[in-house]
Amino acid sequence: MSSQDDGLYAHSPNNTGYGHDAEKFSNGEGNFENARHISMIAIGGALGTGLIIGTGKALAQAGPGSLLISYCFVGLLVFGVMASLGEMAAWLPMSAGFTGYATRYCHPSLGFALGWTYWFKYIITTPNQLTAAALVIQFWLPRDKVNPGVWIAIFLVIIIVVNYLGIELFGELEFWLSSFKVIIIVGIIIFALVIACGGGPGGDAPGFRYWHNPGAFAELYAEGPLGKFLGFWSVMVNATFAYLGTELVGVTAGEAQNPRRSIPKAIKLTFFRILFFYCLSIFLIGMIVPYNSPDLAFANKQSTSANASPFVVAATVAGVKILPHIINACILVFVFSASNSDLYIASRTLYGLASDNAAPAIFKKTNKRGVPYPALALSATISCLAFMNASTNSTVVFGYFVNLVTIFGILTWISILVTYLFFLRARRAQNIPDSAMPYVAPQGFWGTVVCLAFVILISLTKNFNVFIRTKDSDFDYKNFITGYLGIPLYITMLFGHMLLTGSRGVKPHEADFYTGKDIIDSQEADYLEQEQIKNADSQGARKFYNRYVAWLF
């Protein structure tokens, strides 16, 4: 095996895109240390500015009732996507990620379209996150004092260095950054609970007062039940954007030690964290901020800094003075972690495409640390688009990029669910029982169909507001194009690949469930043997942490 294909991204001789080099696996080199990295990166991908900032706009548009229902419902859809991916990843981890599963179990053209769609998503998201970091710093240093291009350059250099130095550094850094994000969210939840119970400077305990006045459901674009429904549906789209990124555990699956245990654990814990972090935060913010608050309306005119956060609005309403600076610093950590992981995912997705022969072979090259440096170089170069924001008006362009990212993310979810349906059909055709699976998605076939139907519905209606026109407004063609451009692009890649390559779908009885499984089984046996030795020497403190604290981190 050449040095280019060694280490973390090692493939079997037939280059099917699974597993690791067995010796490096057993030595703990070239992959994530253990389940804590996979688990924290899974939740870290979901905790971002969509929760800490984006919920303010959603609350103002729809009210606390719509906000809570929408986030809980979309959280269930996300769990369906995660569980579907988890069943496939636990059976056979692949370094090509879910694009590899689409190719192996469904259709090579689906793998092609999914891979490029996912890469498009992250090469747009990375410069957008860098822009967000510069905007956050402007909370303290306005652009007339320091050009935002300076901060973009600093952040970009740091994340390139972190990604180039290998998976060990990246995994450890993201673990601690994600842990810090968890601590931040827990602190915000405690703060909101204290305010709701009357622990603020004024001693006022709002409780469910704002659910009654101004009410639980706000009217949007129309009056009466129609307006309340439109407000509710607008939050469905907002919640979808907030949850984007949870599927990245599928990208890390091929780089985990003992993935048969770590992947299902990450999937299960992600569900409970969604309930705890998202739904509880949403519930509490609806208790302490009225949706018609003038401060909330002001926050929605802000860009990315702490002024835009509904939790800062809650602090303002309660009379707490210092919190905006603290939250702004926390947001900066959020966007740095997001930009770091986004660049990582962009480079690994391009590597996976090359491994699947869907991108030029040069992107399969890796250095001795297992980093696909050509893929990293191209993704980092495209991230330089962030420097467009050194000018004043370019942030509008990136607002449209965010719109584009959302549709690419939703198309990824749709592809994962479709792939799982074909995986499940093939597994049943080949008489592979549930008892033989390391992890089984609890929603089953019909639950996956329901998830798929709702995700498709959200994708088609995500920019419904462009169709709602008043006498004084024109058709917003820019939002329409950026909101739906991903769909024809995805369809073109899917059917274009079919026509050019003549590829055919995978028949259920011919789906390959076993190539590479023996390597994974051997790696798992070696890892479990090492873990038994470690556990024999563990003390009471470690056992206490694993049992009572580790679920949170």
**Widest Cα–Cα separation across the chain:** 74
Two tokens at 539? 């003390």
Domain that residue 409 falls in: 3-468+481-527
Q: Mean of the pLDDT values across residues 543-552? A: 59
Residue 323 is assigned to a structural domain of this protein: yes
Residue 538 is assigned to a structural domain of this protein: no
CATH code at 92? 1.20.1740.10
Two tokens at 200? 């603020």
Query: CA separation (Å) from 212 to 58, 207, 296?
Result: 18, 10, 18
Residue 278 is assigned to a structural domain of this protein: yes
Q: Whole-angstrom Cα distance, residue 356 to residue 354?
A: 5
Q: Whole-angstrom Cα distance, residue 85 to residue 101?
A: 9
pLDDT tens digits, one per residue of 371-426: 899 999 999 998 887 787 666 544 566 567 777 888 898 999 999 999 999 999 99
Residue 536 is assigned to a structural domain of this protein: no
pLDDT tens digits, one per residue of 473-500: 677 788 888 888 889 999 999 999 999 9
Query: CA separation (Å) from 444 to 79, 99, 203, 263, 440?
Result: 12, 21, 49, 18, 8
Residue 552 is assigned to a structural domain of this protein: no
Query: CA separation (Å) from 161 to 91, 137, 156, 371, 374?
Result: 33, 21, 9, 11, 14
Q: N- to C-terminal Cα distance for the chain?
A: 37
Residue 545 is assigned to a structural domain of this protein: no
Q: Dihedral of the CA atoms 492, 494, 498, 500 (nearest 10)?
A: 50
Query: CA separation (Å) from 533 to 26, 344, 490, 529, 545?
Result: 14, 33, 49, 7, 18
Q: Count structural domains, the chain.
A: 1
Residue 305 is assigned to a structural domain of this protein: yes
Percent of the chain clearing pLDDT 70 (strictly above)? 78
How far does CA 11 lie from the centroid of its chain?
A: 26
Residue 349 is assigned to a structural domain of this protein: yes
Percent of the chain clearing pLDDT 90 (strictly above)? 18
Query: CA separation (Å) from 523 to 25, 144, 527?
Result: 7, 56, 6
**Residue 471 exposed, middle or buried by CB count within 10 Å (0-12, 13-18, 19+):** exposed
Q: Dihedral of the CA atoms 321, 242, 49, 400 (nearest 10)?
A: -120
pLDDT tens digits, one per residue of 440-482: 999 989 999 999 999 999 999 888 888 876 656 677 788 888 8
